[in-house]
């Protein structure tokens, strides 16, 4: 089912809506929206009476009711205390005693509520329900948060850190999450052919070196089915200049993707004591601390934007950049807040 079809149906499950109410909850152009309404009506999935649309009994089998995520004040931001409050509370329990980040893998998990915000935004965009989802690197435990929501068709996680793999496997068993697998894998090595062209949605937080970013994202693109598939990633302005952003945008366009959303400063990374006492040592390897002789930070400062992009035709898989080492993968002249170990 196409994204816009899903967005229409999950609104109608909540009750009849007119044209203007429906169009505010979907992402298609007006022409595409009208074509989709006509198609759904022809298939008897929805009905139209005067100017009001409703869903048929057959249509109800395709979709679950929409969970409202909008902030009641600004009508734009995400409301963590509304219909998704259960997700925040459950994820807090699931994420307890998670492995602490390792500098050698450039790890650093975001705040729990920011992981939940990502899930809610992906849901709102129609990229979770009945979707096959690929996650490359998951110390943020996004896959487990998706498991709590329990709307996916399948989730596959590739993670290099054996501690994280073991933790996720344990939680899958403990909570009985369905259709989630986590595999240990190295992005510098070929993935299994069984993962190629299998997924609707991918999520990753790539390194912000120019080569590393393209390598990670290109690997994820391999996993997508193609037309209308989507990707999500975190990207900062702290370690990526506008020149680098421009290069990344050109990369998306050449691969036949278009950026649809950029949520600025959507995720914050607490670091400090929440990462364990040993993390302070890795700060000394950050170039920003070497250059400026700064003290250990005591406040939230590192944050990333959440970027969504979507294929507008067949995916053009560009050649993989030539990378020979982890250092090349993670570091360039702008990565001033990445461990150099």
Ordered domains of the chain (ranges, CATH): 3-60 (1.10.10.10), 94-330 (3.40.50.150)
Interatomic CA distance for residues 64 and 153, integer angstroms: 13
Q: pLDDT tens digits, residue range 205-220?
A: 999 999 999 999 999 9
The DSSP line for 143-184 is: HHHHHHHT--SEEEEEES-HHHHHHHHHHHHHHT--SEEEEE
pLDDT at residue 39, rounded to an integer: 95
Give first-to-last CA distance, the chain, whole Å.
46
Residue-level pLDDT at 71: 82
Buried b (16+ CB within 10 A) or exposed e, 98-111: bbebbbebbbbbbb
∠ CA(168), CA(169), CA(174), 5° rounding?
95
| Encoded tokens for 251 | 């990369």
Mean pLDDT value of segment 28-41: 94
Statement: residue 69 has pLDDT above 90: no
Q: How far apart are CA 139 and CA 105, in angstroms?
A: 10
The larger pLDDT score, comparing residue 271 to residue 166, is at 166
User: pLDDT digits over 284-314, tens only?
Assistant: 678 888 888 887 777 888 999 999 999 999 9
- 300 and 203 in contact (C-beta within 8 Å)? no
Residues 146 and 169: their CA atoms lie apart, in Å, by 14
Residue 324 has a pLDDT of: 77
Residue recorded with tokens 């067949």: 314
Report residue 48's pLDDT band, with 50, 70 and 90 as the boundaries: very high
Rounded to the nearest integer, the mean pLDDT of the chain is 91
Look at residue 323 in the predicted model and tell me its pLDDT: 84
Residues with Cβ within 8 Å of residue 102, at least 6 apart in sequence? 161, 163
Which is more confidently placed, 86 or 75? 86
């Amino acid at each position: 089912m196409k994204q816009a079809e899903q967005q229409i149906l999950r609104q109608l499950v909540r009750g009849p809506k007119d044209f203007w109410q429906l169009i505010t909850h979907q992402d298609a152009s007006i022409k595409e929206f009208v074509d989709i309404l006509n198609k759904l009506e022809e298939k008897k999935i929805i009905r139209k009476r005067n100017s009001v649309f409703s869903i048929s009994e057959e249509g109800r089998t395709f979709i679950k009711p929409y969970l409202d995520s909008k902030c009641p004040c600004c009508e734009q931001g995400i409301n963590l205390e509304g219909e998704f409050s259960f997700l925040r509370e459950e994820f807090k329990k699931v994420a307890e005693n998670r492995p602490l980040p390792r500098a050698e893998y450039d790890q650093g998990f975001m705040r729990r509520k920011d992981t939940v915000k990502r899930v809610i935004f992906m849901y709102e965009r129609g990229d979770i329900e009945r979707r096959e989802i690929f996650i490359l690197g998951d110390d943020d435990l996004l896959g487990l948060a998706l498991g709590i929501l329990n709307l996916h068709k399948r989730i596959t996680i590739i993670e290099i850190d054996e501690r994280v793999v073991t933790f996720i496997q344990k939680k899958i068993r403990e909570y009985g999450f369905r259709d989630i697998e986590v595999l240990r894998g190295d992005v510098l090595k070929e993935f299994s052919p069984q993962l190629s062209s299998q997924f609707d949605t991918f999520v990753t937080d790539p390194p912000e070196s120019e080569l590393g970013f393209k390598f990670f994202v290109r690997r994820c693109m391999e996993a997508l089915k193609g037309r209308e598939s989507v990707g999500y990633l975190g990207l900062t302005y702290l370690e990526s200049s506008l020149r680098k952003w421009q290069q990344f945008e050109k990369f998306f366009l050449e691969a036949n993707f278009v950026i649809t959303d950029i949520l600025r400063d959507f995720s914050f990374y607490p670091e400090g004591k929440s990462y364990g006492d040993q993390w302070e040592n890795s700060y000394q390897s950050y170039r920003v601390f070497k250059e400026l002789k700064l003290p250990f930070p005591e406040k939230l400062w590192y944050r990333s934007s959440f970027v969504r992009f979507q294929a507008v035709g067949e995916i053009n898989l560009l050649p993989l950049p030539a990378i020979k080492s982890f250092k090349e993968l993670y570091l360039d002249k702008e990565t001033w807040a990445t461990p150099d170990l």
